[in-house]
A and B are shown apart, each in its own frame.
Chain A
Amino acid sequence: MTAVSIEGVWKFYGDYPALRNIQLTAESGACLALIGRNGAGKTTLLRTIAGFSRPGKGSIKILGTEPRQTETRSKLGFIGHGISVYDELSALENLTLFAKLYNLPDPQKSALEWLERTGLERVRNGLVREFSRGMRQRLAVARAFLHEPSVLLLDEPFTALDDRAIAVLQRLLREALAAGKTIVMSTHQLREALELASHVALLNRGQVAFHGPCTPEMVADPGYVYARYGETS
């Protein structure tokens, strides 16, 4: 089954086309790594897939439905550039809040379970503003995985993570893939991403320059895709 289907998507900022006729698909259980230089359109594409903005032209389907439908949103997990948790609330309050918004049957229990899985159970009542950067990132990961989403959209998820947070995230992503969930991630950390990716899409100035399976050459040399299909400079 196709988990993410992007058909002829254009996105304009004023007159500037940030995305140009994007055609991409990701099957259920696949991990699609979106790579490309800064400004290639990776974040814009992920935000459009997540339903944070509507495409100018074309259509996006997540598990066969529109991204902004309530049913679709309950199956989507998103990690963006920000951690998307509140500094003024405790770790437990943050996760309980999102568990309630995602209508989980026992919000407190789900929150405690994910605090334990991300190694934050001892600081569960601490305010997020007092957390270290690594702890905040792990809490952001817990928030995104809390409702067990079928499709995960991750925008540069390994950026600025400490070793422990990278290990937690990689373990969770492997578990998610083993459970048949779909991951679409944009990244500049090619080595970490290509270890997980089943497919790779290279974006260049808002267009798909390459889309195909992740091959052993790509894993062995993360610069291979850029060298073969991308810009030389």
Chain B
Amino acid sequence: MTFLHQVLVVAVKDLRAEMRTKEAINASFAFALVVLLLFSFAFDPDSESSKEIAGGLLWIVFAFAGTLVLNRSFARELPNDCLDALVAAPIPGSALYLGKAIANYLLVMAMELVSLPVFSIFNNVTRPVTAQLWPIIGVLALGTWGLTVIGTIFSALTVNIRLREVMLPMLTYPIMVPALMSAMRLTTDLVAGKPFGPDDFTWLKMLVGFDVIYTAASVALVETVLVG
């Protein structure tokens, strides 16, 4: 079995288990929609200042709602000691990690793709979001991968901690700051309908660099995280 096949087997298993229980995805969808609704009441959608912080609001929602998915990633393996069986299987830790990261990525992206139209309606930015839809989806894809790689490795690290639901966001958010900053700035400019400038290119490079560096670091460290 090739490495890619091993990754896919783990990813399909996680997605199938989540689709049967819908524990993480339901909580994530509900949280994102409620917070977007509350933000629409808190900020005047027609004011210029609201548009300037639109990207920030959106990524705050994605980061918090995404954590609900990421928290379940390795915690799902706990009830019957399933993690033992996965660690004992003759697959590299990196295949296990990437399989879980891909499953988390697809779940978080699904939440974001449902939340995006809701956000654009509530914040009165439907026209610019429609006009810049593919660039926005590109930023979502890159930003979400950054959140997912960090969240998945820390989910493995905190899986045996009693207060993991608290510890995971405390550990991950500070590390996610560069990815969130880049994604927020790029999203804000795209939602405001601004053309892609040199500043945006710098933020994009930072986001891509973050994804590459943290993916490589997580793949290299996962065996140590799982076995010690």
A76-90 toward B: CB 8 Å interface, digit per residue (1/0)?
101011111111110
Q: Are B81 and A80 in contact (CB under 8 A)?
A: yes
Q: Are B227 and A53 in contact (CB under 8 A)?
A: yes
Tell me if A219 is interfacial: C-beta within 8 Å of chain B.
no
Tell me if A159 is interfacial: C-beta within 8 Å of chain B.
no
B85-123 toward A: CB 8 Å interface, digit per residue (1/0)?
111111110000000000000000000000000000000
Tell me if A52 is interfacial: C-beta within 8 Å of chain B.
yes
Tell me if A103 is interfacial: C-beta within 8 Å of chain B.
yes
Tell me if B9 is interfacial: C-beta within 8 Å of chain A.
yes
In angstroms, Cα B16 to Cα A93, docked, is: 10
Instruction: Knowing A84-B80, A87-B80, A97-B13 are in contact, say whether A71-B20 is a contact too (CB < 8 A).
Output: no
Main secondary structure of the interface of A (DSSP, over half): loop
Tell me if A168 is interfacial: C-beta within 8 Å of chain B.
no
- Which of A54, A73, A78, A85 contacts B80, CB < 8 Å? A85
Q: Are A100 and B87 in contact (CB under 8 A)?
A: no
- Which of B17, B81, B90 contacts A103, CB < 8 Å? B90
Output the nearest chain A residue to B83 by Cβ-Cβ distance. Answer: A84
Tell me if B228 is interfacial: C-beta within 8 Å of chain A.
yes
Tell me if B213 is interfacial: C-beta within 8 Å of chain A.
no
Which residues does chain A contribute within 8 Å of B88, judged by CB atoms? Answer: 50-52, 73, 76, 78
Report the count of interface residues on B (CB-CB < 8 A): 25
Q: Which 7 A-B pairs have the closest CB atoms?
A: A82-B81, A84-B85, A74-B90, A101-B89, A73-B90, A88-B20, A88-B17
Contact residues of A with B, CB < 8 Å? 50-54, 68, 70-71, 73-74, 76, 78, 80-89, 93, 97-98, 100-103, 127, 143
What are 27 of the A-B contact pairs (CB < 8 Å)? A50-B88, A51-B227, A52-B84, A52-B227, A53-B227, A53-B228, A68-B227, A70-B92, A73-B90, A76-B88, A82-B82, A82-B84, A84-B81, A84-B82, A85-B82, A86-B13, A86-B82, A87-B79, A88-B16, A88-B20, A89-B13, A98-B85, A100-B1, A101-B1, A101-B90, A101-B91, A103-B1
